[in-house]
Amino acid sequence: MWYCGEQINCPDIICIAVGLSMKRSEVLQEVRKMRVEESYEGWKEGRLMQEEAAMLLGVCDRTFRRYLMRYEDQGMEGLIDKRLSQISHRRAPVDEVMALSDLYSNRFRGFNAKHFYSWYRRDHQGSRSYTWVKNTL
């Protein structure tokens, strides 16, 4: 990602610097909103042409015009990426996660993830991957 001619390799540094704990995608979303707002103001004041503002954002002219329309109609809310608020269709149901945690804490406390996973697959017909079980515990 480019910002004011400088490449930002790790936006997590921004969060650490201001003391926030945000996901990388949330940080990128906020940076994008700030950049669009700056570009919009520069275009509105006549300091930037649409092509220049679009180039600063790293998008084409048409995408910049779409951003303009959404920003003028809905404000900052129009710039939010709706995909980030959607829940993945692959996400495990809450009751399955709770059942796994209860099983581990009640019957298999002290087992390492590898041993617990073998019991989970064999005796409880678990269908999730080893990595999922390990990360859930």
Handedness of CA 38, 84, 132, 16 (dihedral sign): positive
Q: Is 73 exposed, middle or buried (0-12, 13-18, 19+ CB in 10 A)?
A: exposed
CB–CB of 60/54 below 8 Å? Answer: yes
| In the predicted structure, residue 20 carries a pLDDT above the cut 70 | no
DSSP 96: H
Q: Tell me the whole-structure pTM to 2 decimals.
A: 0.50
**Spatial CB neighbours of 83, under 8 Å, sequence gap ≥ 6:** none
Tens-place pLDDT, residues 94-111? 888 888 888 888 887 888
- As a whole number of angstroms, the distance between CA 116 and CA 107 comes to 10
